[in-house]
Amino acid sequence: MINLEAPKKHAALIDQAHQVAMNMLRPISRKYDLAEHEYPKELDMLAAMIDGLDSSGASEGAGATGVRRDADSDDKTVKNGANLASVMSVAEMCWGDVGLLLTMPRQGLGNSAIASVANDEQLARFKGTWAAMAITEPGTGSDSANIITTAIKDGDEYVLNGEKIFVTSGDRADLIVVWASLDRSKGRAAIKSFIVERDNPGLKLDRLEHKLGIRASDTAMLILEDCRVPLDNILGSPEIPKTSEGFKGVMATFDATRPAVAASAIGIGRAAIEFVREALDKEGMPIRYGLAGTKLTAVERDFMEMENLLQAARLLTWRAAWMMDRGLRNNLEASMAKAKAGLAVTQITQKAVEILGPRGYSRSLLVEKWMRDAKINDIFEGTQQINMMIVARRILGYSSRELS
């Protein structure tokens, strides 16, 4: 049975994440929203702090974790709760600022990919680095199976060619986890992920995107032109299976990253709800719980619905992370959490701006920024529609060919 409370042993870690969000991220949130593409120097102190925690062994669950399963093990007990602690920490930090969290050193989505599928040697070799993840291409959005970036074996190296867009932290990260095809004629079975060092001469920055939200985070377009990487930089097996099972292994990365994105949405949603509650209290309009719906004001009903949306998203997300800690397949739960949280935070922040009126729409408050930041959670790591399709396939037992 899942315990819906934060594990006691992670309470200090979660509190620490909240303190960082409140005292370090929230105060500079507007500064770097306005100064798009300017690196937040204040985050270097946080990176040093995380390194200190890591060396002391006190950082369990603080960073980008992943999902590693032992298919031969019958032991389904919770080993350490690191994934649950991680998503709870992400939620706290995004209560402060999601864009700043996305640009925090060594906390990239690529780190989750490495943690999920890298072998022991790769885990040791790339420990302490900052990894971004490059999947989307100009002609390939949510359908990752249509990737056209190629990786051709040449001696003791792979040669990568292609373009990647919307790469979060693509300019600042140390490593880029690039999805490419070993043989496009073999379809999705040949899709693999490769670790490319950011200073590789074959990897070039084409441009940085100007965005609606998460403006503190750099989002890059990258070009791979005869980009050579060592053979041992491929994540997982280099063999191309006869079926798409290998691609399923690559896609399993999302089982770890989607709960993290859902946690990001939860943090933003909670920030908006708490701000609205405080504003209503100051106006002498506290939320009156326990009354019949017919006796509530329209604002009270809207506010309670905002809380309901957040709670549902939170419980789905915690469950998806809890399953990772037990070594259970959480593909369905990860997609449910991501779909629900992305939609919920979009509705919550829009309603928060509406309730607060003209001031909510102005830059005098952070609420309008949260509304802009919120939308990305409904888009990256698989759009709302893609995640809903995955949920439908899993529940109905359909393949991607049968339901697309």
What's the pLDDT tens digit per position in 200-255? 999 999 999 999 999 999 999 999 999 999 999 999 888 887 665 556 666 778 88
Pairing of strands 175-181, 157-168: unpaired
369 located within any domain: yes
> In Å, how far are 13, 242, 303 from 87, measured between CA atoms?
12, 36, 25
> Please, which residues bridge with residue 131 across strands?
175
Question: Which DSSP helix (H) or strand (E) runs through 176?
Answer: strand 175-181
CATH of the domain at 181: 2.40.110.10
Nearest to 176 by CA among 108, 262, 90: 108
Q: Are residues 159 and 197 in the same domain?
A: yes
Residue 161 clears pLDDT 60, i.e. is over it: yes
Residue 61 clears pLDDT 60, i.e. is over it: no
209 located within any domain: yes
User: 71 or 389, which is more confident?
Assistant: 389
Q: Are residues 298 and 330 in the same domain?
A: yes
For residues 372-398, average pLDDT: 93
96 located within any domain: yes
For residues 247-272, average pLDDT: 88
For residues 32-46, average pLDDT: 91
Q: Are residues 196 and 218 in the same domain?
A: yes
Percent of the chain with pLDDT over 70: 88
Cα(227)–Cα(161) distance, integer angstroms: 7
Catalytic residue among 42, 368, 381, 402: 381
Residue 303 clears pLDDT 70, i.e. is over it: yes
Reported as a pLDDT band with limits 50, 70 and 90, residue 52 is low
1 located within any domain: no
Q: Are residues 254 and 292 in the same domain?
A: yes
Q: Are residues 37 and 101 in the same domain?
A: yes
Burial class (CB in 10 A: 0-12, 13-18, 19+), 71: exposed
DSSP sequence for 191-252: EEEEEEETT-TTEEEEEE---SS-TTS-EEEEEEEEEEEEGGGEES-----SSTHHHHHHHT
State which of 187, 207, 241 marks the end of a domain: 241
CATH of the domain at 39: 1.10.540.10
Q: Are residues 72 and 20 in the same domain?
A: yes
pLDDT at 51 (0 to 100)? 63
Domain count, the chain: 3
Nearest to 265 by CA among 57, 32, 87: 87
* Average pLDDT of every residue of the chain: 88
CA distance between the termini of the chain: 34
Reported as a pLDDT band with limits 50, 70 and 90, residue 377 is very high
pLDDT digits (tens, 9 = 90+) for 349-361: 999 999 999 999 9
For residues 140-153, average pLDDT: 85
Q: Are residues 332 and 378 in the same domain?
A: yes
402 located within any domain: no
Domain that holds residue 79: 8-125
Residue 286 clears pLDDT 60, i.e. is over it: yes
Q: Are residues 260 and 372 in the same domain?
A: yes
pLDDT digits (tens, 9 = 90+) for 326-337: 889 999 999 999
Q: Are residues 135 and 114 in the same domain?
A: no
State which of 194, 220, 241 marks the end of a domain: 241
Query: Which token pair is 142?
Result: 């949510």
Is-contact 287 56, C-beta < 8 A?
A: no
238: amino acid identity, one letter:
P
148 located within any domain: yes
For residues 389-403, average pLDDT: 90
For residues 288-316, average pLDDT: 96
Compute the CA torsion angle 207, 212, 217, 223 (nearest 10 deg).
Answer: -20
95 located within any domain: yes
308 located within any domain: yes
For residues 191-199, average pLDDT: 95
**Residue 368 annotated as catalytic:** no
Q: Are residues 255 and 367 in the same domain?
A: yes
Q: Are residues 14 and 119 in the same domain?
A: yes
